[in-house]
Structure 1
Amino acid sequence: MIWILSVMIIIGIIIFVDTWRGIQTVLPLSAVEPLANDEQVSVIIAARNEEISIEATILSLLNQTHQNLELIVVNDRSTDATDLKINRLANQHQRIVPIHIETLPGGWLGKNHALYKGYLAASGNFLLFADADIHFQANTISKALTYMKAQNVGHLTLAPDLQARGFWLQAFISYFLYGFSVFKRPWTANNDHSRKGGVGIGAFNLIKRDVYEQIGTHEAIKNRPDDDLKLGQAIKQQGFKQRFLSGVHQVWVEWYPSLKEAIKGLEKNTFAGLHYSLVVTVFAITSILVTHFLPIFTLFSHDPRVQLMSALFLLIFLALYGVTIVKMTSYSLWKIAVYPVTTTIFLYSTIRAVALTYIKGGIQWRGTFYSLKELREKNLNKKT
């Protein structure tokens, strides 16, 4: 047991140092002083059954201090009143370009196809891909453009403030962001000396048009449910300069209205994040079980050395967890205290998502079914 804990402590220290160094590069966009800029920005939003949120999102974009905007809102086969709200706002504001999609071509996921169609209608040299439930501070785009031009960046993505109602939903989101940070290391986007890693966040992906076209547009990732992440990784892999900043004080979204909805919502991309591999899934689950629960049990060992090493590892782990919460959320650090519960919930959501993908033979997303076979084939094609 001492040897196991020793290895865990060494690995824990390495991960903590890597995370600490990396997360220091994740600067807040709120610290940028916006400058006047006349660049045209085409904001492209894909909306499917977003009648509740779409109007507030559009209005927050129309309220931007950066005036040279065209707002392309793509209604992707909605069955609610999304189309009516888009059309009404378009009749009131000339900067809104409405696009209505009736059918989905084979081989495409709906959101990716909608964003691609929006790009085809866009005229700006900068493209901002955003979700249909995001709220923007009025100076967000102005600050982002100022930063991109000053740093000569081809792609800027922001981590939004994930607002949530209730303690347990906030605790679950905190754990999810901790896991995402450690597993995906999004700060690799800020390392100009490597083409590995990279990241994209669906709430805010601001890309130079020529960069987007050179990576193959959304057509290159047309069948990926984790399209935002893959878009960012493709940009990084092709050597373009990329930045990942904190947008906690600039961009916010209610990720899911409840813990139940969060678990259900993760069905579509959990297995994708594990590369549709059972081997990777089993390894990830085993690693979490060993690192998150074993030290709790060994803390009560009769061997003082084991107790001390268990306590040391837990301190390293909690410090790592705390660093990500402070940087990536606006939540209280008290969420750390219930990590055994949120870890269990996360493991349940992961196992559930993978099991349902196999049972159904694929994923159901926004009313459309995508088979596991075609998802895996696209994943393999991206690796070769």
Structure 2
Amino acid sequence: MLTALLTLGIVVWIAFILDAWTGLRKLDALENEAGLVNGPLLTVIVAARNEEQQIKVSIQSQLQQSYENVEWILVNDRSTDQTGKIIDGLACADQRIKSIHIRELPEGWLGKNHALYTGATQASGRWLLFTDADVRYEREAFAKALHYFENNELDHLTAAPNLNAHSFWLKSFVAFFLFGFSYFKRPWRANNPKSKIGTGIGAFNLVSQKAYEAFGTHQRIKMRPDDDLQLGMRMKKEGFSQKMVTALHLIEVEWYESLKEAFVGLEKNTFAGLNYRISMVFLAVFGILLTHFLPFFTIFSGSKTIALLSLGNIVSSGILYLMVIRRMTLFSPALFLVFPITALLFIYSIIRASVLTFKRGGIVWRGTKYRLSDLREKE
């Protein structure tokens, strides 16, 4: 039985390596793109709830962009800190900024999704950029993204930013999360026009206003906590042209400040990413244990066959890890040395999020509770 499972693991790894090798070669780096000097209006929409520590620095980095035909719509989503005042101050200092304050959340909406939708209804731009309140941009980011968007005749462009992390274990966990996301979602498939697989990243989701309206706006995903991913996945599935790029030297976000904060943050969308299905939770946990954890122990087996198959799994996973981490992050591939430990941490985050969702009867996101019965969409 163990021999069969380890053999299956190697087959799976090889299949993903081949898929990643093909896909990652087509994953362009936005840094290499020329910049758009002038063009139509871009509307940047930021939803912010209790972001007083981050939003001012983020918006100031955007105001310095080389592409100048930009307007900003900053949506204060029921903040209880100084976010609203900061947004108003930014709007007073720069006439390109419009502030919107949401006092109540309508039934049937998640807060962020409603805030982004509200901002989009006030947009005048040909392009809409949905971004988060903690993202920092280099001066050429908008210009290069818009040039790439136009050159490739896109409806949707999403960019992978540099995810900054300070502590060793947080870096290891973030690296594993990105690896796991790539392993399960294969985001590079977004660049294959023949594939129905798409992706979206909250730090940078750029869409044409025309395509956004044709898709059905955020009303289509109003109860999805993984709104950024769902926007990209569904647009691609429905035939909209899409590309994913990396922007590791142009866009930066400190995803979480600590490992504990990462576990809390993932409460809202981990179970959602598994479609709120217990069967998917068991499948994910079993798959990670089999391919990411078990070989690191069975390699010490007294059976030569088991040991060699285990080594094959470790080498194969290491090759894929190296490919993904070197292409999609600025982290050191040496983090693979704690791969089995971070695999266990990832399993813990999945189980924790799923149990808490059931225990609470839903998720608690940015101070608001959303019932599980409402989150489970009926397609």
Which TM bucket (shorter chain)?
over 0.9
Q: Quote the offset at 1:35 in angstroms.
A: 3.1
Secondary structure class of the residue paired with 2:119? helix
Q: Does the 8 Å CA contact 2:293/2:344 hold for their aligned counterparts?
A: no
Identity of aligned residues (%): 49
Provide the rounded CA distance (Å) in 1 between the counterparts of 2:293 and 2:142.
Answer: 43
Q: Is residue 42 of structure 2 the alignment partner of residue 41 of structure 1?
A: yes
Partner residue of 1:236? 236
Residue of structure 2 equivalent to 1:267? 267
CA distance in 2, matches of 1:77, 1:136: 26
Q: Deviations over 1:333-364 (max 9, x none)?
A: 11110011111111111101000000000000
Q: Is the 8 A contact 1:37 1:146 kept in 2?
A: no
Query: Does the 8 Å CA contact 2:296/2:340 hold for their aligned counterparts?
Result: no
CA distance in 2, matches of 1:150, 1:293: 43
Structure 1 contact 154–207 (Cα < 8 Å) conserved: yes
Note if contact 1:129-1:203 (Cα within 8 Å) is conserved in structure 2. yes
Q: Which residue of 1 aligns with 2:124?
A: 123
Residue 178 (structure 1) aligns with: 179
Question: Normalization by structure 1: what TM-score?
Answer: 0.97
Separation (CA, whole Å) in 2 of partners of 1:301 and 1:48: 52
Match of 2:338 in 1: 338
Partner of 1:350: 350
Residues 1:289 and 2:289 aligned together: yes
Q: In the alignment, what sits opposite 2:305?
A: 305
1:64-106 deviation per Cα after TM superposition (whole angstroms, max 9, x unaligned): 1010000000000000000111111111100000001100000
Q: Secondary structure at the match of 1:51?
A: coil
State the 1:294 CA deviation.
Answer: 2.2
Matches within 5 A, 1:6-155: 6-155=7-156
Report the 3-state secondary structure (helix = DSSP H, G, I; strand = E; otherwise coil) of the residue aligned with 1:176. helix
**Runs ≥4 residues deviating over 3 A:** none
> How many equivalent residue pairs?
378
**Could you tell me how far apart the structure 1 residues matched to 2:3 and 2:228 are?**
42
Task: Write the letter of the residue equivalent to 1:320.
Answer: L
Structure 2: segments with no counterpart, 5+ residues: none
How far 1:26 moved relative to its partner?
1.2
SS at structure 2 position matched to 1:9: helix
1-structure distance, mates of 2:27, 2:364: 34
Give the 3-state SS of the residue equivalent to 2:294 in structure 1: helix
- Structure 2 CA distance for aligned equivalents of residues 210 and 25 of structure 1: 26
1:2 deviation in Å?
2.9
* RMSD, aligned α-carbons: 0.9
User: Contact between 2:66 and 2:139, CA under 8 Å: does it hold in 1?
Assistant: yes
* Partner Cα separation in structure 2 for residue 129 and residue 32 of structure 1: 21
Question: Amino acid of the residue matched to residue 246 of structure 1?
Answer: T
Q: Please give the secondary structure, in 2, of the residue aligned with 1:255.
A: coil
The residue that corresponds to 2:200 in the other structure is: 200
Q: 1:295: Cα distance to partner?
A: 1.5
Residue 6 of structure 2 is matched in structure 1 by 5
